[in-house]
Every structure is written in structure tokens, then in C-alpha cells.
A and B are shown apart, each in its own frame.
Chain A
């Protein structure tokens, strides 16, 4: 979904750049709450993994492909604020070194793929883990749904930007239909990759999955309260 230079006009690009700058600035302040000595390397690993998997376009229909965006995956693994930083590093590297995603469109790309997908993904995974019985399976299901939903939502956000400052006149209805249609399919692929990745990390190091940390803390609390009640009477 990398927007190239020339799709959006200058005022829209500048406005999206301002949104991205504010988002990254807030993330820089808040990410410290999510990262400690043990989990700090996860920021690098998650960003590197997303860069690598973004290279792996999978076919989604006749002559069309898609790749993981990764915002939902990053949010689940390292927390939403760190995820925004990871996605911004990936998108900045892709634009400057690989000419993927326009330089004037960098703010738009960070806003859509680095902030919208992360926020949507985080809200979905938190909702699922809160509603479902607290289990690591709920984190996997939540991650799957977070990815599935975040991709089409980002495509709708692109249509929003394009309506405000697109450089060609495209009827809104047909643009939404086409963008959402393809990105539901891409989201399905992203959901599978995200679910598999999160369940793999949960299998070996559940403590490194940010969205599963509350489960581990709770487990400890349960053990303590049991032993306490045995002692009291």
C-alpha cells in the first residue's frame, strides 16, 4: 500500500506529514513504558521481521498481489507505541534506500501503515483478549482479527486522504469498493501470517509478547492468592 510521489497533492501530504510527526513524537515519549532491558531488542527484531515479510508479496487474484503491512503484528508483539516507531523505521528505510513509497508521501504512508494499522490492531486485540477468557489462544485469535481488520481500515483511510487531496478525480464509491475489495483479501493473508508469527513466539517465549503480558502477571497472582488462602485459616 506504499503511496508513491504524485498521488496526493502538496497540502494533503504536508497535513499527513504533520499527523505522522505528532504520532511519532508521542510514540517516542510513550514507548519507554513498553520497553525494558529485556524487551528493548524486540523493537529491532520486530521491525526487521516486518521489513523482511513486506518483501514477500503473495498473490491475491488475477495480476494482483499484496504483502503484510505489519502494524497489528507489531502492536501485539511490542505494544502500540513501540509499534509506531518500528513501522516508521521500516517505512523510512524503504522510502529512502529502496525508493519504495514516495518521499513526499512518507507522512501519508506512516499515517496509514504505521499509525492507523497499529491503533486499529491494538484496539481489536485488546477487545478480543478482554472479551474472551484470558488465554494465550485469545491473544492469537485477537492478533489474527487485528490484522484482518486493520488492512481494509487502512485502505479506507487511503481513500479518505485521496478524497481530500488526490491528484485525479475518481468517484468515491468505486474507489472505496476497489480498495476495500483487494485489501480484504490482503488482510486475510496478513491475518494468517500474523496469527502464525504470534503463536510461534508465544510457544517459545510468551513473556516477549506484549499483548500476553497481563496473562503471565495474572498467573503469578493466582498462585499467590491460593497459597495465602491456605495459610489464613
Chain B
């Protein structure tokens, strides 16, 4: 195990990267239709799209409702999404993980160190 990057350090850096990407960099993302939407428009089946049941939700369309500043609105939505996904998937990981000490990886860590 790399002594500079303990699992905790690695996790903190990873979360900060995610927050920066979703909260700041996302503002600069391309706004044009994605591949599927492009094909739907070109082939004319985009008109079949129905309104999303959650279209009025507070974060619909990756914007925070009630925040007028576009940059801030998208940033808040991105940060909220990262945190929700982090907790949900991280929690799921903890629930399904193999319990107890993993001898193989413990052994491995001492070998590497």
C-alpha cells in the first residue's frame, strides 16, 4: 500500500474530485443533444418523448429550483447528486461486503509495505 495514499486520503481526494467535477466543471459541459437524442431528432421519434413524471422535482434537469444564478443552480444540483449517490452506493457497498477480516488482503498489505 502506498503510504502517502491511505484509503482515507484516497477517499477524501476522490470525493473532492467528484464534487469539483459535478459542482464546477459541469457548467462548461456541452449542452447539445447526446447521441441518442440526436438520432431521435434526425429520425423523427423525439416527438414520442413524454413529460418526465419528476420534471417538477427540485433538481430536475440538473438545476436547483429557486436558484436563479445558472452556474450556482447547476453546481448545487451536481453537488447534491454526488452526495446522494456516494451515500447510497457506499452504504450498499458496506451492506453487501464480505464481513470480517480478509486474510489475503491483510497479508498483501504487509507484504507491500
Contacts and interface: CB of A to CB of B under 8 A. Distances in A.
Contact of A1 (B7, B35, B61, B77): B35
A99 B65 CA distance: 13
A55 B62 contact: yes
Contact of A64 (B1, B5, B35): B35
A78 to B, nearest CB: 8
Given A7-B48, A56-B25, A97-B54, A33 B98 contact: yes
Interface string B23-60: 00110011111111011101111001111111101011
Interface in A186-232: 186, 204-205, 207-208, 216-217, 220, 223
Nearest to A204: B5
B96 A205 contact: no
Contacts of B21: 49, 52-53, 55-56
A90 B18 CA distance: 13
B84 to A, nearest CB: 6
B104 A96 contact: no
Q: How large is the interface on B (under 10, 10 to 19, 20 to 34, 35 or more residues)?
A: 35 or more
Given A6-B50, A47-B86, A60-B35, A52 B109 contact: no
Contacts of A57: 29-32, 34
Interface stretch (A35-43, A116-124, A139-147): A35-43
A183 B35 contact: yes
Contact of B86 (A40, A44, A183, A186): A44
Contacts of B26: 52, 55-56
Contacts of A103: 52-54
A60 B35 CA distance: 9
B110 to A, nearest CB: 10
A99 B40 CA distance: 18
A37 B101 contact: yes
B102 A37 contact: yes
Interface of B: 1-2, 4-5, 7, 10-11, 14-15, 17-19, 21-22, 25-26, 29-36, 38-40, 42-45, 48-55, 57, 59-62, 77-78, 80-94, 96-98, 100-102, 104-105, 107-109, 111-112
Interface of A: 1-7, 28, 31-33, 35-49, 51-53, 55-60, 63-67, 82, 85-86, 89-90, 93-100, 102-103, 155, 158, 166-168, 170, 174-175, 178-179, 182-183, 185-186, 204-205, 207-208, 216-217, 220, 223
Given A57-B32, A99-B57, 19 more contacts: A1-B36, A6-B49, A7-B40, A45-B11, A51-B81, A52-B26, A53-B21, A55-B29, A64-B35, A65-B33, A85-B93, A90-B85, A96-B54, A97-B59, A98-B59, A167-B45, A168-B45, A204-B4, A208-B10
